[in-house]
Structures are given as C-alpha cells and as structure tokens.
Structure 1
Amino acid sequence: MRTAIHPRLYDPAPDDPVLNGGECARCGRVYFPPIGLGCENCGAPAESLTSVALATDGVVFAIAEVNVNAQGTSPFSVVEVVLDAGPLIRAAVHPASPPLQIDDRVRARWHAVKRSDAGADLVEPAFIKSTFIFGESE
C-alpha cells in the first residue's frame, strides 16, 4: 500500500504517478501545483480554474546535487522538469535513474521515502530517464 507524502499534489493509487494540476479555462495556462486564487497569466477569477491530471513525462531543464539536508540522508539530485503539459516543476531524481543531463527525456516513478507506522510506503514522484525505466529500454 502507498500513501502520498503530499496528498494534495498527487494520488498514490495509480501504478504511474499523475500530478494534480490546474488549468485556466480562459487562457489555457496549466499550473502545478494547483492554485486557487485565479489565473496569474490572464487574471481570470478562481472559478475559471479547473482541476487537471498531469502526466509526468517531460524534459530536464536543470539539475542540482544536494549534499546536506535536514533528514541527514546521503546526497541526492533534484531536477527541474518542463512537463509535456507545460509547467516547470522541481522534484528528486529517482535513486534507480542513471545520471541525468539537461534535455534528457524523463518521467516520474514512485519513490518510497520511508514507511509509515501502519506499514504503508510513504511515496513521492521522482524522475528517471525515460530510456531507463528500471533497467528496461522503452
């Protein structure tokens, strides 16, 4: 069983991560995370924003190595990804991914960060190179 670390941002039930985004009905701007104050692009009111499911396929825009963090875990990488749906997002690189470079095609896979007291995997989407999905070429 999977439990989302950030339940407002994604549903942990599907096999592949899908993000909870938003879209402006007036101008078509797509957001992640979803916003509720109105469209920052065209100024449409909040009721013009609708919920949309966003696939996690995209292209690496930037990469950073994180060497120190509050949890004391070993170094990890963070990427900025321009999703095919439009928004630029930040997320961790999946530990099973080969090293990523700018302009690599990626998609998210579930990464179990830890276990809950009830035994559920606490998950978040993490990006992996699209041509290397857990050791298999696509």
Structure 2
Amino acid sequence: MADMELTELFQLVGRRFRHGYARLLEPLGLSPGQARALRVLDDAERPLRMVRLAEELRIVPRSLTPVVDALEEAGLARRQVDPANRRSTLVVITPEGRDLAARARDARRQAGGELFAVLSEEQREQLRGLLSLVDAQFR
C-alpha cells in the first residue's frame, strides 16, 4: 500500500507540474510537446534526422510529424533533405525557434520553481538526489 501511495503522489505532483508548465507555455503559442522538440533541437550540435528526433523525444516517428508540422508552420523549425542521405529528412531549428526554446526553458524553470517553492533549498537538493538515483537505474 505504501508503494501505491508514493506512485500516486508522484503522478499527482507530475500532473501539477505539467498543468503549470502548459499554462506558462500558452502565451508563447507552444504545447509542451512542441517545447520539448524545440529543446532537443536547440541542444543538438547539428540538425537532427526526423527518426533521431523521435528517438530523443521517446515517441514513434509518425507522432513526430504533426509536431514538426506545427513548428514549421510557426517558423520555428524547417525540414531539409539530408545531404548525406537524400532519403532522410533533417529538422533544422530557426533563429526564432532558438529564441522561443530559451523562453520555454524559462517557463519550465518558473513552473518548477512555483511547484517546489514550499521546499527549502536543502530539501530540493535531497529530492533531486533521490530522483536522480531512481532515474539512473534505467539508463
């Protein structure tokens, strides 16, 4: 029973974060999925193939198409043929996309700051360490 309570609490806190983050992304015109894709593209050293971007986002490639379509329509990313393999498509972040990725990162930090404001800095560090330990077992 204690494990179930912990998982339910973890899900509840995650849901609260997602709702707060989505609220802060709304004025930017981004969904959380679009913000994640921009973050991955912004962090990449070079344009990513669609398949690689899907892997980084841990989604199936067909689920990525509408995300990239929306980013492209907004002028935040563009597709181009991969010169190394003309059958592959690269996704290139635009300067506007980089700017919005930075603003989305700020929104993410703000959402986390609001969520964890009740914790002291020491408690935040302890929680970060515990979550890192749990995450490390799956890497």
TM-score, with length taken from structure 2 = 0.23
Higher helix residue share: 2
TM-score, with length taken from structure 1 = 0.23
Higher strand residue share: 1
